[in-house]
C-alpha cells in the first residue's frame, strides 16, 4: 500500500547543507519539499529552506515567502508542487503537537504530502538517517474532528503505534548524477569511516536518556491528570446515583399519598461532568517515548555488536 517514493540526491544534500549551515545543537531547521506526483507515486525533486527569522521581525510573512520562492523556482523550470516539508531532529525528538498540526494541514491540502525527518546526529555517526512520515488515515480523521477526548480516542481505537506511518524512501538519481558520483568515489581520499567504529557510547546514551526521562515525566503528569479526572467523574456519578435514588423514593412516597410526582429536572445540568483532559498529548508523548526507545535500542544493539567485534579483535591480536 505504501509505495516507496523517490527522492533525489539533490534534496538530501540540500537538507544536510541546510542543517550544517543553520542548525546547531537542539535547534531545528525546516523547509519545503517540492516535487511531482507521477502515477500514484511521489517524486521529490527539490526543496528550499524556511528562512530563520527572529521573533522581532513581525513583518515577515512566511506564506508570502513560500509563494514567491515557488514562483521563482517555477521560472527556472523546477517542479513546483508543494509535496511536503522536512525537519531536522535532535536525538529523534520530533513527535510533537506542532508537527502533528502542520502535517495535518499539509495532508489535508495535498493528500500525498509527507514530512521528511533528518537526523543529523545519526548521520554524523556514519549512516545517513532520513525518514519520511505521514499521518495515518485514522489520525487524519480524528484531527479533522478535533475531538481529543478519551472517549473519542477510544472509539477511534488509536494507539501511539498507529499515529504515524513511515513511508519507504528510495534515493534515485539521474544517470548523469550517478556517473558523477562514481567518478567522485574514485577520487575520494576519505575511504575509511572511523565514526562507524567509534566505541564510546555513553554521551549519546546519556542525552537520549535525558530526553526520555523528560518525556516520562510528562507522561506521568498526564496520567495524574487523567487519574484525577477519573476520580472526579466516579465521585460525581455516585452523587448522581444517590440523587436519583432519593428522587425515586420521594416519588414513590408521593404516589402512595396520591400527590403528583416531582417534575423532571435536567439531571445533566445539575451534575455537569468534569472537563476531560485531552488525550492527544498523552498519545504524542507515548509516540515520542516509543521513538526514543527504538532509537536507543537500535543504537545499543549496534554498539553491542561493535563491542563484541572489538573484543574479538583484541583476543585475536593478543
What's the closest the beta carbon of residue 273 comes to another protein, in angstroms?
14
Binding-site member from 2, 105, 198, 220 for another protein (CB under 8 A): 220
Q: Which of 122, 126, 128 is CA-nearest to residue 192?
A: 126
Which residues lie below 8 Å from residue 29, measured CB to CB, with a gap of 6+?
18, 19, 22, 23, 49, 50, 52, 87, 88
Nearer to another protein, 99 or 296 (CB): 296
Strand extents, DSSP E, the chain: 5-7, 30-38, 41-49, 81-88, 114-118, 130-135, 164-167, 169-171
Q: Which of 40, 119, 128 is CA-nearest to residue 86?
A: 119
Q: For another protein, which stretch binds (CB under 8 A), given 110-118, 126-134, 239-247, 267-275?
A: 239-247
> How far apart are the C-alpha atoms of 284 and 161, rounded to whole Å?
10
String of b and e for 91-118 (b: at least 16 CB within 10 Å)?
bbbbbeeebbebbbebbeeeebbbbbbb
Binding-site member from 74, 154, 193, 231 for another protein (CB under 8 A): 231
Q: With binding defined as CB under 8 A, does residue 29 bind another protein? A: no
What residues between 187 and 206 interact with another protein by CB under 8 A? 202, 205-206
Q: With binding defined as CB under 8 A, does residue 105 bind another protein? A: no
Q: With binding defined as CB under 8 A, does residue 307 bind another protein? A: no
What's the closest the beta carbon of residue 302 comes to another protein, in angstroms?
16
Q: With binding defined as CB under 8 A, does residue 234 bind another protein? A: yes
Q: With binding defined as CB under 8 A, does residue 311 bind another protein? A: no
Nearer to another protein, 17 or 231 (CB): 231
- Residues near another protein (CB under 8 A): 202, 205-206, 209-210, 212-213, 216-217, 219-220, 223-224, 226-227, 230-231, 234-235, 238, 241-242, 245
Amino acid at each position: 500500500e505504501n509505495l516507496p517514493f523517490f527522492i533525489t540526491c539533490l534534496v538530501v544534500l540540500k537538507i544536510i547543507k541546510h542543517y550544517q549551515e543553520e542548525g546547531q545543537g537542539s535547534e531545528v531547521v525546516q523547509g519545503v519539499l517540492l516535487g511531482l506526483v507521477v502515477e500514484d507515486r511521489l517524486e521529490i525533486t527539490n526543496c528550499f529552506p524556511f528562512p530563520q527569522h527572529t521573533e522581532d521581525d513581525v513583518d515577515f510573512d512566511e506564506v508570502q515567502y513560500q509563494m514567491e520562492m515557488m514562483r521563482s523556482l517555477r521560472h527556472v523550470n523546477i517542479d513546483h508542487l508543494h509535496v511536503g516539508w522536512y525537519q531536522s531532529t535532535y536525538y529523534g525528538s520530533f513527535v510533537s503537537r506542532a508537527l502533528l498540526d502542520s502535517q495535518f494541514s499539509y495532508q489535508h491540502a495535498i493528500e500525498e504530502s509527507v514530512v521528511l525527518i533528518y537526523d543529523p546526529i545519526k548521520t554524523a555517526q556514519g549512516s545517513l538517517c532520513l525518514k519520511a512520515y505521514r499521518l495515518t488515515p485514522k489520525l487524519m480523521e480524528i484531527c479533522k474532528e478535533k475531538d481529543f477526548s478519551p472517549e473519542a480516542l477510544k472509539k477511534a481505537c488509536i494507539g501511539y503505534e498507529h499515529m504515524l506511518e513511515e513511508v519507504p524512501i528510495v534515493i534515485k538519481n539521474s544517470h548523469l548524477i550517478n556517473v558523477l558520483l562514481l567518478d567522485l568515489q574514485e577520487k575520494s581520499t576519505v575511504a575509511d569511516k572511523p565514526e562507524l567504529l567509534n566505541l564510546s557510547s555513553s554521551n549519546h546514551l546519556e542525552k537520549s536518556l535525558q530526553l526520555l526521562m523528560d518525556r516520562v515525566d510528562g507522561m506521568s503528569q498526564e496520567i495524574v491528570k487523567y487519574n484525577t479526572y477519573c476520580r472526579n467523574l466516579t465521585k460525581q456519578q455516585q452523587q448522581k446515583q444517590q440523587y436519583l435514588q432519593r428522587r425515586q423514593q420521594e416519588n414513590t412516597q408521593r404516589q402512595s399519598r396520591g400527590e403528583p410526582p416531582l417534575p423532571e429536572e435536567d439531571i445533566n445540568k445539575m451534575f455537569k461532568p468534569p472537563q476531560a483532559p485531552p488525550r492527544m498529548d498523552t498519545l504524542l508523548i507515548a509516540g515520542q517515548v516509543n521513538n526514543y526507545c527504538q532509537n536507543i535500542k537500535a543504537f545499543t544493539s549496534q554498539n553491542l555488536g561493535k563491542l563484541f567485534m572489538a573484543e574479538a579483535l583484541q583476543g585475536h591480536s593478543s
